[in-house]
Amino acid sequence: MAQGIPDEVMMNAALIRELADVAKDAALVHGILMRIQETPNSSELVTYAPFTLFPTPVPRSLFLQALAVQTHYNTLVDRVCQDVDFLQDALASTIAVDDFTARLFRIHQQVLKEGRSQSVTLGLNRSDYMLDQGEDGTPSLKQIEINTFAASFGGLSSRTPDVHRHVLKAAGRLEESQRVLDNNPAAGLARAIATAWELYGSDRAVVMFLVEETQRNIFDQRYIEYELWKRNIHTIRRRFDDVYKTGSLDQDKRLFVDGKEVAVVYFRNGYMPQNYTSEQTWEARLMMERSLAAKCPDISTHLAGTKKVQQVLARPGVLERFFPGQPEVVEQVRATFAGLYTLDMGAEGDKTVEMALASPDRFVLKPQREGGGNNIYGSEICQVLEGVKHSSERTAYILMDKIRPAPVQNYLLRRDAPLRISNCLSELGVFGVYVRKGESMVMNECVGHLLRTKSSEHEDGGVAAGVAVLDNPLLV
């Protein structure tokens, strides 16, 4: 492994078994936790969140590139969500065939018609990348996507560096242990939420985490809650159903839930169609959108994070619209784009279909969904495209170049899984936060990172989806 963990450690079976035990205990001690089952109110059934035994080598220059571009991505998302015409044009073909996006768009239009009441915009996002191994073997940073909704693992990834340092010390690798970076996205995410809360301007008001009925990954959220409590900001956790039953807007559109005024709604649920179990869920979402509370994300920021918008942003000339007179910023952002292709009806979309059918292994076909497990790979791309290629249904998807990182060997530690060496692929996420009040950007920062690693036999991957595991970059 290039400047990573040497083979004498990687291949020493007895040492690996011992280190795995050391690592799992360290993870529990440091609070890298998940619930075992989807139990509503029980913290009794807890295990460590899955993670790698060793941190993964990442070239320093590419890591720094990802951090450096993050504030530009924050600005980009913020400008896209304020550009009503752009959003409408970009999403027009998708809305015509994708019911979920269409429904979100209707809320967006309704809020615009009434006039946005919220003056504070809060963005907490995570831009994800893989290191594409070019033909000559040189890696380059390529964005998978930017998540503007419920970007997770900022909490747990604030605790994993200590675990990897400890494992490396126990393995006798002191020098490597000193190369594991500090990381604290939880503090940065909370700082942005706190800033939005302050700008809202009421000491009595609370921050509401809008959460699922049951939540395995609850501890990840708790870390952010605790950071807010440290600042004496009161947080509550509520579901869509609670908001529907006990929520209301007063004449100034202040949001009250259970009698408490809400300054900030932080959505950790509501990004996929299955989260909207009834008309009442949609009504609750609309009520929150119409309110004076800062929403993370608000409906336009939600739409700005769709895969269709990502594809349109990669078209020639589009970044220039958002960064006028800043060619160096355009260049910096564009350098991280992988190839993205439209499936809109017309000659360009026809060409995309042809290209994908001719070599499906070079691409990923993506619908407008979040949460993992929705993307389409390999021969299944042909099956799907053959079915929709002559109809506008194809515009529900975009096509993307498949990014091919170089595999690295590691051990994935997961409860109930055998301990064995795997060929692994990693994905680097960078957390960005911004707060805008009216026209003025009050905060725009990069607040930390997340490395996730999966066995190369999986195409898709997410930690919550049970494929990827938490990791740390070891800069080389």
Binding residues for ATP: 145, 307, 366-375, 377, 400-403, 427, 452, 454, 460
Q: Which is nearer to ligand ATP, 242 or 367 (CB)?
A: 367
Instruction: Provide the angle, in degrees to the nearest 10, between the axes of the packed helices 327-334 and 60-82.
Output: 110
Active site residue 371: yes
Least CB distance to ligand ATP at residue 337 (A): 11
CA-to-CA distance for 471 and 476, rounded, in angstroms? Answer: 15
For residue 456, the minimal CB distance to ligand ATP (Å) is 10
Residues in CB range of 284: below 8 A, 6 or more apart: 240, 241, 243, 244, 247
The owner of tokens 């608000």 is: 298
Question: Does 98 engage in binding with ligand ATP (CB under 6 A)?
Answer: no
Is 152 an active-site residue?
A: yes
Which of 339, 371, 378, 466 is an active site residue? 371
Task: Judge whether 253 and 115 are in contact, CB under 8 Å.
Answer: no
Q: Which of residues 420-449 bind ligand ATP (CB under 6 A)?
A: 427
Of the candidate spans 51-59, 181-189, 219-227, 457-465, the one that interacts with ligand ATP by CB under 6 A turns out to be: 457-465
Tracing tokens 């998708």 back to the chain, one arrives at: 94
CB of 461 to ligand ATP, least distance (A): 4
Minimum distance from residue 314 beta carbon to ligand ATP (Å): 12
**Quick one: DSSP state of residue 375?**
-
- 435 contact choice in Mg ion, ligand ATP, none (CB below 5 to 8 Å, kind-dependent): none
Name the residue nearer to Mg ion (CB basis): 134 or 373.
373
Alpha helix ranges (H) inside 96-248: 99-114, 160-170, 174-177, 185-200, 218-230, 240-246
Instruction: Pick the closest to residue 191 from 456, 448, 465, 397 (CA basis).
Output: 448
123 strand-pairing partners: 434
- Residue ranges that bind Mg ion, judged by CB under 5 A: 147, 370
Q: Which of 279, 276, 258 is nearest to 267 (CA)?
A: 276
- Pick the closer one to ligand ATP by CB: 169 or 362: 362
Kindly state the smallest distance separating residue 130's Cβ from Mg ion, in Å. 14
Among 273, 372, 378, 407, binds ligand ATP (CB under 6 A): 372
Among 57, 185, 349, 461, binds ligand ATP (CB under 6 A): 461
| Burial class of 359 by CB neighbour count within 10 A (0 to 12, 13 to 18, 19+) | exposed
Question: Nearest approach, Cβ of 103 to ligand ATP (angstroms)?
Answer: 18
C-alpha–C-alpha distance, residues 388 and 397, integer Å: 10
> For ligand ATP, what does the binding mask look like between residues 379 and 418, x meaning CB under 6 A?
---------------------x-xx---------------
In the annotated binding site for Mg(2+), the residues are 145, 147, 370
Known active-site residue 307? yes
Residue span binding ligand ATP (CB under 6 A) among the ranges 140-148, 208-216, 221-229, 292-300: 140-148
Between residues 120 and 130, which has the closer beta carbon with respect to ligand ATP? 130
Of 369, 394, 436, 449, the one binding ligand ATP by CB under 6 A: 369
On the CB side of 439, CA atoms within 13 Å amount to 0
Cβ proximity to ligand ATP: between 367 and 409 the closer is 367
Specify whether the backbone of 234 is left (phi greater than 0), alpha (psi in -120 to 50) or beta: beta
**What does 254 interact with, of Mg ion, ligand ATP, none (CB < 5 to 8 A by kind)?**
none
**Catalytic residue, candidates 307, 389, 394, 436:** 307
Q: Which one of the listed residues 74, 93, 152, 184 is annotated catalytic? A: 152
366 included as an active-site residue: yes
**ω before 297 within 30° of 0 (cis)?**
yes
Residues 212-250 as b/e (b if ≥16 CB within 10 A, e otherwise) read: beebbbbbbbbbbbebbeeeebebbbbbbebbbeebebe
Cα angle 330-334-337, degrees, rounded to a multiple of 5: 160
Q: Which of 4, 24, 31, 145 is catalytic?
A: 145
**Residue 145: active-site member:** yes
Q: Is 154 helix (H, G, I), strand (E, B) or coil?
A: coil
Residue with tokens 């509501």: 270
Active site residues: 126, 145, 147, 152, 307, 366, 370-371, 452
Residues in contact with ligand ATP by the rule CB under 6 A: 128, 130, 144-145, 147, 338, 364, 366, 369-372, 374-375, 400, 402-403, 427, 460-462
